Structure 1
């Protein structure tokens, strides 16, 4: 993973992989991963007990369902929008028509959190995969 000394074009980076719900490691900032992911359909209800999760929609639109003390709600994020899911909040990202999303999480954070519903086969349980961009 480079991304520190070499500029990374996001369109080129997203074009380098097809898998949905399988984040790629684009860069590291201190002890955080900058991950790129393609969303399509639904993820899984999950929670990150000790960390917030940052979402920036690069292309497309996503929804994030949230289970909060006041009840469930859903936030909709069009391209160019960002949102932070607070630590300890169960959430389920989804995208009806597909999206490209930049995520910021502590290095080693599992894509399905610390607790989750049964993981469907289309969701990759990972801490991120190497981003392989050809020049």
Structure 2
């Protein structure tokens, strides 16, 4: 059993992560960041849940760039191949569930 107090997690650098669990083919990580994550496309599905702070999630849909503003409790789902880039507004703590080894 493990209890994680996400609001107490502070990374040494942007997008530092604490592994919460590795389950079969998926990982669950708590990330801390205060910097944007580069545009990328995952090679699997990704669930991105904002636990603390705010994030402007940039994503592409039908050739257009869109932005969704996410706050604590909001969840973003990216299917395999969806281009996206997370931009925290200040500090944010995010729970990311994705395929193990996903890039």
Report the TM-score, using the length of structure 2 for normalisation.
0.87
Q: Per residue, is there more strand in 1 or in 2?
A: 2
Cα distance in 2 between the residues matched to 1:60 and 1:85: 20
8 Å contact from structure 1 (residues 32, 106) kept in 2: yes
Task: Note the C-alpha offset of 1:42.
Answer: 1.3
Task: Note the C-alpha offset of 1:12.
Answer: 7.2
Task: Work out the number of aligned pairs and report it.
Answer: 103
Shift of the 13–67 alpha-carbon distance from structure 1 to 2, 3 Å rule, reads same
Unmatched runs of 5 consecutive residues or more in structure 1: 1-5, 111-135
Q: What is the 5 A alignment of 1:60-79?
A: 60-79=53-72
8 Å contact from structure 2 (residues 7, 93) kept in 1: no
Moved over 3 A (4+): none
**Higher alpha-carbon Rg:** 1
Task: Note the C-alpha offset of 1:104.
Answer: 0.2
8 Å contact from structure 1 (residues 39, 94) kept in 2: no
Q: What root-mean-square deviation, in Å, do the aligned CA atoms of Structure 1 and Structure 2 show?
A: 1.8
Unmatched runs of 5 consecutive residues or more in structure 2: none
8 Å contact from structure 2 (residues 19, 27) kept in 1: yes
Counterpart in 2 of 1:82? 75
Task: Note the C-alpha offset of 1:70.
Answer: 4.8
Residue 97 of structure 1 aligns to a residue whose secondary structure is coil
